[in-house]
Chain A
Amino acid sequence: MIALLSRDLALAVRAGGGFGLGLAFFLIVTVLVPFGVGPDTELLSRIAPGILWVGALLACLLSLDRIFALDWEDGSLDLLATAPLPLEALVSLKALAHWITTGLPLVLAAPVLGVLMSLPPEGYLWIVASLAVGTPALSVIGTFGAALTVGIKRGGLLLSLLVLPLYVPTLIFGAEVARRGAEGLATATPLALLGGVTCGTIALLPFASAAVLRINLR
Chain B
Amino acid sequence: MEQRASASLWEWANPVKFLRLTEWLLPWVSWGAAICLAVGLVWGFFFTPDDFRQGSTVKIIYLHVPAALMAINIWIMMLAASLVWVIRRHHVSALAAKAAAPVGVVMTLIALVTGALWGQPMWGTWWAWDPRLTSFLILFLFYLGYVALWEAIENPDTAADLTAVLCLVGSVFALLSRYAVLFWNQGLHQGASLSLDAEENVHDVFYLPLLVCIAGFVLLFVALLLLRTRTEIRARRIKALMARERMG
Enumerate chain A interface residues (CB-CB to B < 8 A).
Answer: 144, 148-149, 151-152, 155, 158, 161-162, 164-166, 168-169, 172-173, 176, 190, 193, 197, 205, 208, 211-212, 215-216, 218
Count how many chain B residues have C-beta atoms less than 8 Å from C-beta atoms of the other chain.
Answer: 25
Distance in angstroms between the alpha carbons of A148 and B149 in the assembled complex: 9
B127 within 8 A of A: no
Per-residue interface assignment for chain B, residues 173 to 214, with 1 indicating a CB less than 8 Å from any chain A CB and 0 otherwise: 110110011011000000000000000000000000000000
What residues on B are CB-neighbors of A197 within 8 Å? 176
What residues on A are CB-neighbors of B174 within 8 Å? 165
Chain B residues touching A, majority SS: helix
B153 within 8 A of A: yes
Contact of A148 among B144, B166, B180, B183 (CB under 8 A): B166
Distance in angstroms between the alpha carbons of A37 and B160 in the assembled complex: 45
Q: Are the C-beta atoms of B144 and A161 separated by less than 8 Å?
A: yes
What residues on A are CB-neighbors of B144 within 8 Å? 161
Q: Are the C-beta atoms of B141 and A144 separated by less than 8 Å?
A: no
Distance in angstroms between the alpha carbons of A211 and B177 in the assembled complex: 23
Quote the shortest CB–CB distance from B169 to chain A (angstroms). 5
What residues on B are CB-neighbors of A164 within 8 Å? 141, 145
B83 within 8 A of A: no
Quote the shortest CB–CB distance from A10 to chain B (angstroms). 30
Q: Are the C-beta atoms of A169 and B161 separated by less than 8 Å?
A: no
What residue in chain A is nearest B185 (Cβ atoms)? Answer: A172
What residue in chain A is nearest B174 (Cβ atoms)? Answer: A165
Question: Given A148-B149, A155-B152, A176–B176 Cβ distance below 8 Å?
Answer: no
Per-residue interface assignment for chain B, residues 143 to 179, with 1 indicating a CB less than 8 Å from any chain A CB and 0 otherwise: 0110011001100001001100110111001101100
Distance in angstroms between the alpha carbons of A49 and B180 in the assembled complex: 18
Distance in angstroms between the alpha carbons of A212 and B138 in the assembled complex: 23
Question: Given A190-B183, A212-B162, A165–B152 Cβ distance below 8 Å?
Answer: no
Q: Are the C-beta atoms of B158 and A165 separated by less than 8 Å?
A: no
Per-residue interface assignment for chain B, residues 115 to 153, with 1 indicating a CB less than 8 Å from any chain A CB and 0 otherwise: 000000000000000000000001001101100110011
Q: Are the C-beta atoms of B162 and A193 separated by less than 8 Å?
A: no
Quote the shortest CB–CB distance from B82 to chain A (angstroms). 13
Quote the shortest CB–CB distance from A195 to chain B (angstroms). 14
Distance in angstroms between the alpha carbons of A169 and B141 in the assembled complex: 14
11 A-B pairs besides A197-B176, A212-B162, A215-B161 with CB distance below 8 A are A148-B166, A161-B141, A161-B148, A165-B170, A168-B177, A168-B180, A169-B177, A176-B184, A193-B180, A205-B169, A215-B162
Residue from A148, A155, A169, A211 with most neighbouring chain B CB atoms (10 Å): A169
Residue from A155, A161, A162 with most neighbouring chain B CB atoms (10 Å): A162
What residues on A are CB-neighbors of B153 within 8 Å? 151-152
